[in-house]
Amino acid sequence: MQYYTHQLSNGLRIIHAPNSSEVAHCGLIINAGSRDEQSHEQGIAHFVEHLIFKGTRKRRAFHILSRMDDVGGEINAYTSKEETCIHTSFLNKDYERSLELLSDITFNSVFPGQEMTREKDVIIDEINFYKDNPGEAIYDDFEELVFQDQPLGRNILGTPELLNRYNRRDIEHFVQRNYLPGEMVISSIGNIDFEKLVRLVEKHFGPVPPATSPRPRIGYAGYTPQNKTLERQTNQAHCIIGNVSYDLYHPSRITMALLENLIAGPGLNSRLNMLLREKLGYVYNIESSYTPFSDIGLFTLYFGTDKTRLKKTLEQITKEFERLRTTPLGKMQLRKAKRQLFGQLAISSENPSMRMIANGKSYLMLNKVDSLQEVGQKIEQITAEELQDTAREVLDPNQLTTLVYE
């Protein structure tokens, strides 16, 4: 994959991957998420993400939403623990329209009072929606259990009580502290000359002054395994088992991704899907995930099952974890696992919008983007012994946290 990079004098960086499509994708990735909130600000990063669409010095909410829609384009955003992303898709001829809009809503939002009141209600409905979906809500409760009293443990959406307290000054303080050009990347995939793209970004983002002081981020502070059961009025038992794992910079990060994929990744032939769904019929849905943050990672395994089968399901998972810890994969098993992971990554990379965001996140945090071939080489270098060592550490039964909705 060929890509070009540039840095503005205010610290904002650009990464662009050219293609020949008539459709382009461009996003602004900001190194600010829910973990950058202060203790009294829970949910404010996500609130800001909503509010930047509600009015700027020269546009009302309708004009912001119509700006890309009027030319058949799209604009959207999301907030995670460590980043906020505003992303657009459009025809190549509309690059400047997209970049000007991204700059306007990021740096010129005025957070109208009436819109703030209305959007609080929208987010409270979003919070209630997740509460009504135990398969979603359990992830938030699990992260709070693992990262107790730490910024990483904060629910991204916040709480209705806190949301109702926030005023324009609170919003402006968060933005001034975190929306800094030096903590941002413009990521682009499209058919545009790179020098022209740089000129457009300079025009619309260059006038933003650089930050005068570094922004602090409270680091990860330690982990204590927990086991907790919460009573919920649900037809099924829902459960998450997990452990802290490797951060974004750790050399075993790709080995961990391979292990997670083997356990209960998206492939229907993952170990626990084959055992618990196909062979035993204990579960309808079982899925694992691995999220590397800047200073720690998190491995989780989620499943839902009939409450009468919860104990048996946990016993089978314990046995499978023990096998992965004590028995190295054979050559054929390891080869198949590697090919499967690489194939999934290759297919995912065919989605240009997803690849644009992935490029931006990688460049933001690592200042580089590995090509698919480079990632494939790293996967190929993983040995059965390295995979087993990772399993011994991350699947250690004495270090696992378990949360059950019953």
Task: Note whether 268 and 317 are same-domain residues.
Answer: yes
Beta-strand (E) ranges in 4-110?
Answer: 4-7, 13-18, 23-30, 74-79, 84-91
DSSP string, 89-147: EEEGGGHHHHHHHHHHHHHSB---HHHHHHHHHHHHHHHHHHHT-HHHHHHHHHHHHHT
Is residue 367 within 8 Å of 288, Cβ to Cβ?
A: no
Task: Note whether 183 and 241 are same-domain residues.
Answer: no
Residues in a beta bridge with 187: 15, 27
Task: Note whether 157 and 242 are same-domain residues.
Answer: no
**Quick one: tokens of 41?**
């600000």
In the chain, count H helices and then E strands: 15, 11
Task: Note whether 377 and 323 are same-domain residues.
Answer: yes
> Is 220 contained in some domain?
no
Last residue of a domain, one of 205, 236, 266: 205
For the chain, first and last CA: distance in Å? Answer: 48
> Is 218 contained in some domain?
no
Is residue 201 within 8 Å of 14, Cβ to Cβ?
A: yes
Task: Note whether 332 and 293 are same-domain residues.
Answer: yes
**Counted domains in the chain:** 2
Last residue of a domain, one of 139, 171, 205: 205
> Is 319 contained in some domain?
yes
> Is 91 contained in some domain?
yes
Is residue 29 within 8 Å of 201, Cβ to Cβ?
A: no
Among the listed residues 45, 80, 67, 83, the one whose alpha carbon sits nearest the alpha carbon of residue 363: 83
Q: What is the pTM of this model?
A: 0.95
> Is 282 contained in some domain?
yes
**Cα–Cα distance between 280 and 271 in angstroms, integer?**
12
Radius of gyration of the chain (CA): 22
- Could you list the residue range(s) of the whole structural domain that residue 50 is in? 4-205
Task: Note whether 140 and 53 are same-domain residues.
Answer: yes
Task: Note whether 25 and 154 are same-domain residues.
Answer: yes
> Is 128 contained in some domain?
yes
**Cα–Cα distance between 373 and 387 in angstroms, integer?**
21
What is the pLDDT at residue 240? Answer: 98
> Is 219 contained in some domain?
no
Last residue of a domain, one of 138, 173, 205: 205
Task: Note whether 53 and 199 are same-domain residues.
Answer: yes
CATH of residue 25: 3.30.830.10
**pLDDT (tens digit, 0 to 9) for every residue of the chain, 406 residues total?**
799 999 999 999 999 999 999 999 999 999 999 999 998 999 999 999 999 999 999 999 999 999 999 999 999 999 999 999 999 999 999 999 999 999 999 999 999 999 999 999 999 999 999 999 999 999 999 999 999 989 999 999 999 999 999 999 999 999 999 999 999 999 999 999 999 999 999 999 999 999 877 778 888 999 999 999 999 989 999 999 999 999 999 999 999 999 999 999 999 999 999 999 999 999 999 999 999 999 999 999 999 999 999 999 999 999 999 999 999 999 999 999 999 999 999 999 999 999 999 999 999 999 999 999 999 999 999 999 999 999 999 999 999 999 999 9
Task: Note whether 198 and 277 are same-domain residues.
Answer: no
**Cα–Cα distance between 293 and 364 in angstroms, integer?**
13
Pairing of strands 74-79, 84-91: antiparallel
What is the pLDDT at residue 300? Answer: 98
Contacts of the segment 332-339: beta carbons below 8 A, 24+ positions apart: 334/382, 334/384, 334/387, 337/258, 337/261, 337/262, 338/258, 338/379, 338/380, 338/382
Task: Note whether 145 and 241 are same-domain residues.
Answer: no
> Is 214 contained in some domain?
no
What is the pLDDT at residue 1? Answer: 72
Task: Note whether 200 and 305 are same-domain residues.
Answer: no
Task: Note whether 259 and 320 are same-domain residues.
Answer: yes
Q: What angle do CA 12, 107, 15 make, to 5 degrees?
A: 25
